[in-house]
Structure 1
Amino acid sequence: MELDEDRGLQMSDDTVRKMRVTKIYRENTDRINSMHFSQSGDLLISSAEDDQIVIYDCEKGLQKRALNSKKYGVDLINFTHAKNTAIHSSTKIDDTIRYLSLHDNKYLRYFPGHGGKVTTLCMSPTDDTFLSGSLDKTLRLWDLRSSNCQGLMHLQGKPVAAFDPEGLIFAAGVNNESIKLYDLRSFDKGPFATFRLPYEKDQWASLKFSPDGKLVMICTFGSVTRIVDAFDGTPLQSFVGTPNVQNLHLEATFSPDSQYVFSGSVDGSVHVWNAIKGYKVCVLNGNPHEPVGCIQFNPKYMMMASAHKNMTFWVPHGYED
């Protein structure tokens, strides 16, 4: 299951079509709202509407630990660079971001400032910096070592944001119509590039860079996932899954080699496309009784995780050992 460190994860259409459900975990009593793999790929952390934080051991295929955040609620959970700490947004009391020790379930620091629901939260891939965006129409830049906001950007609408794989720039999607690129070292000077995209009737839910940094994915609260060129903003692909009349956030994810896009759906299946050429590779059948709202591909192992109320692990048939 482990990847070749020199070549990385080399996937093919055949590998993708062999993906099968290998484990289903039923620890949660309500919807899982976010999840995040550790950089080493050996752990997965999830947050849910039942206020549970669950940590999974990806190598052993076991639930490692469950924690509760009953007082503040939990959403948008991210590992930091230390696997025993995480940051998350809150769903109760206020919109403060919280820095949590997973070892003893104690908060190490609070990051107050947002005046509305936090809609995007992401760690830098290289250091202790992280980004948050909110319904208060601001993007904030933070450092884990200080409760004080390191940078504040006022925008014209609700932002979604993501760091590039090198941690040098970040992208902000605003008002479902433009992507702004900022240099982390001089973000206070404003964006160095702005890409205006065709009008999007479906509200943007999240942004992601491809692992090779060449593409930007726009996930929506509809049935469309869009891919644009990260260097000039050219629209490249529009992938349409199953109808999403409930306007759920159906997450999508890149494969670690940036060649494939895996998208959740309302009917419990996972739709897979070739990210570069645009053709649909296959539809993977999962749990037909619940949507796939969260989906992530492991950065180091040949496995994928998807979730709604239950957490599901996938590996290609023949890779189970």
Structure 2
Amino acid sequence: MLAEETLIPLEPNAFRALTASKKFNETSNKLLDLAYSEDGNGLLVSAEDVILVYDLHDGSKSKPVECKKYGVDRLEYLTSETCVHSDTKTGNVVRLLNITKKSYIKYFHGHTEKIIAIRSNPKSRERFISSSFDGSIRMFDSRTFDYYGFIHTAHPALIAFDPEGLLFATATKSETIRLFDVRSFDLGPFQVFRLQKNDNDEWSNIEFSSCGKFILVSTKGEVIKWVDAFTGVVVHEFKGHKNPNKIDLRATVSSGSGYVMVGSADRNIYVYSTENGSLVCKLPTPYVEPSHVVSFNPKQFLLTSLGRDVILWAPSEEYNNEH
């Protein structure tokens, strides 16, 4: 179904050619989170009490994993056969699931309030970190039972690893970004950025660019911030998309770090250029609700959006034939 990125140039016309090539509406549940496998061929989507499973090599769906006992909220791929997720019942337990066997392997305790995010280390995917409304970040290794690291953030934190897995970022109070070295996180952050704010928008997600030089900050407002990861300077503020109801919008950055995508209340996905901050194009979606989560595949030229349905976006056949 999908072409490797090496065969498709990361240029504006490729993004303008993105079309909704596959649409899945297997559940009426709210779609909450998604995660790609390390090779980019697997996709998991959490939907309250079920995990939807897709094979992106051919764009097919697999049998979903029922999670009715615990529910499923935040999730992250680890190995090709395992993932971790938080639940919707207590919200503060991380559960390690064998996807193929559809059975739980172990549970990770420690948080006392709802989990905000789970992120695996891209260079050591058995290791992951989680953040919670209890004002803590915990480091886990899926091969053991207990957490091996703890950071008290005082405030709920957004989290993200850099592409090399050497450092991770935290964002608190919608204004402060801290950078930690994975090898010496217990010594505290080695860099702290307090961004100049000219709005009251609450931050909803952070993500490193694939080059590691920038941090993408999603918000519940109508602006996305493109932050220099070395200086903390806001290089661009992407504006144009609509979010009057101030829902959590999770933007994404393409491989190559050249383009940012985000959903909008006007039934479009906006594509911005990180080179100059301008709007490249709008991709019309087939449902009324905004695409609250969009995520660019790290290995293939593919965009996944979550709204009412799960939609896989790939360049049109006409574009592929021309290139």
| TM-score class, shorter | over 0.9
Paired position in structure 2 for 1:298: 297
Paired position in structure 1 for 2:182: 184
Paired position in structure 2 for 1:59: 57
8 A Cα contact 2:259 2:273, kept in partner = yes
Q: Equivalences for 1:109-258 in 2 at 5 Å?
A: 109-127=106-124, 128-199=126-197, 200-258=199-257
2:122 partner SS: coil
Equivalent-residue separation in structure 2 for 1:120 and 1:148 (angstroms): 18
Equivalent-residue separation in structure 2 for 1:22 and 1:320 (angstroms): 13
**Which of 92, 97, 108 is the aligned partner of 1:95?**
92
Equivalent-residue separation in structure 1 for 2:63 and 2:282 (angstroms): 32
Structure 2, unmatched stretches of 5+, are none
TM-score of the superposed pair, with normalisation by structure 2: 0.94
- Tell me which amino acid in the other structure corresponds to 2:4: L
Q: Evaluate the alpha carbon distance shift between residue 226 and residue 111 of structure 1 in structure 2; reply closer, same or farther with a 3 A threshold.
A: same
- Tell me which amino acid in the other structure corresponds to 1:307: L
Q: Equivalences for 1:276-287 in 2 at 5 Å?
A: 276-287=275-286
1:35 partner SS: strand
CA RMSD of aligned residues (A): 1.6
8 A Cα contact 1:295 1:305, kept in partner = yes
- Tell me which amino acid in the other structure corresponds to 2:34: M
1:247 partner SS: coil
2:106 partner SS: strand
Paired position in structure 2 for 1:2: 3
TM-score of the superposed pair, with normalisation by structure 1: 0.95
Aligned positions, number: 317
Higher relative contact order (CA 8 A, sep 6+): 1
Equivalent-residue separation in structure 2 for 1:62 and 1:112 (angstroms): 34
Paired position in structure 2 for 1:15: 14
Paired position in structure 2 for 1:28: 27
Following TM superposition, the consecutive aligned residue runs of length 4 or more in structure 1 with deviations greater than 6 angstroms are none
Q: Evaluate the alpha carbon distance shift between residue 299 and residue 8 of structure 1 in structure 2; reply closer, same or farther with a 3 A threshold.
A: farther
Paired position in structure 2 for 1:86: 83
8 A Cα contact 1:9 1:256, kept in partner = no
8 A Cα contact 1:48 1:75, kept in partner = yes
Equivalent-residue separation in structure 2 for 1:12 and 1:158 (angstroms): 37
Structure 1, unmatched stretches of 5+, are none
Alpha-carbon offset, residue 75 of structure 1 = 1.4
Alpha-carbon offset, residue 114 of structure 1 = 0.8
Equivalent-residue separation in structure 2 for 1:3 and 1:226 (angstroms): 28
Matched, 1:106 2:103: yes
Equivalent-residue separation in structure 2 for 1:109 and 1:275 (angstroms): 41
8 A Cα contact 2:95 2:104, kept in partner = yes
Alpha-carbon offset, residue 261 of structure 1 = 0.3
Q: Map Cα deviations across residues 83-139 of structure 1 (whole Å, 9 max, x no partner).
A: 111011111134101110011211111111111111111000011211111111111
Equivalent-residue separation in structure 2 for 1:135 and 1:264 (angstroms): 25
